[in-house]
Every structure is written in C-alpha cells, then in structure tokens.
C-alpha cells in the first residue's frame, strides 16, 4: 500500500515478511511476543515489564528534565520564536474568501 509513495532507496530499507521463517532471519524468534509466534511471553507481560523498568527510573527522568537542558542564552544569533519558525506573515499576497 505504501510502495507507490516511497522512493526506491527508502523502500530498500524495509524488509517485508510474509512468514515467520523469513522474519527469523532478521529478528530472533526468542524476542518476539507469543502472539507474533515468538517465545518472549505475552504482549501484556512484556508491556508490564517495560513499564516497571520505566517506573524504577523515575528519579533519573525527573533529574534529567530539571537539570539537563540547553542553555539558549549561549546560542549564537537571534533567538527564534514560534512565529519565526511557523509564522505565515507575508506568505499570502491576497486572500479572498467567497
């Protein structure tokens, strides 16, 4: 379905698999969830495990958000505003609505 809209170079990066045998050449079956023919356990169990890992690292995420930011005052040049980035001033010569 996407093939007509994609460039060949991008399409070559994708590998389409119709069977689990061709998929196994790229991804070990042991890491796929049971629902996808793998052996890693049910999707819900994998989800719960990842959510627990994230929750265990909440202090790290909070510290990172609070203390590890870009200091925009050190950036050379004029500070960019939302209008500078996404503004539409001057992009319409004349706008007529009927």
Q: Say if residues 72 and 79 touch (Cβ distance below 8 Å).
A: yes
Q: How far apart are CA 35 and CA 44, in angstroms?
A: 10
Its pTM stands at 0.54
pLDDT band at 2 (very low <50, low <70, confident <90, very high): low
Q: What is the pLDDT of residue 94?
A: 66
Q: What is the pLDDT of residue 31?
A: 92
Q: Say if residues 64 and 71 touch (Cβ distance below 8 Å).
A: no
Evaluate if residue 98 carries a pLDDT over 80.
no
Q: What is the pLDDT of residue 83?
A: 74
Give the model confidence (pLDDT) of 10-55 as tens digits.
888 888 888 888 888 888 989 999 998 889 999 999 999 999 999 9
């Amino acid at each position: 379905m996407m093939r007509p809209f994609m460039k060949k170079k991008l399409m070559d990066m994708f590998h389409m698999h119709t069977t689990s045998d061709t998929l196994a050449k790229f991804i070990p079956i042991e890491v796929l969830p049971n629902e996808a023919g793998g052996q890693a356990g049910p999707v819900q169990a994998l989800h719960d495990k990842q959510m627990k890992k994230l929750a265990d690292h909440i202090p790290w995420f909070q510290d990172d958000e609070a203390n590890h930011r870009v200091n925009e005052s050190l950036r050379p040049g004029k500070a960019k505003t939302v209008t500078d980035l996404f503004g539409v001033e001057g992009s319409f010569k004349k706008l007529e609505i009927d």
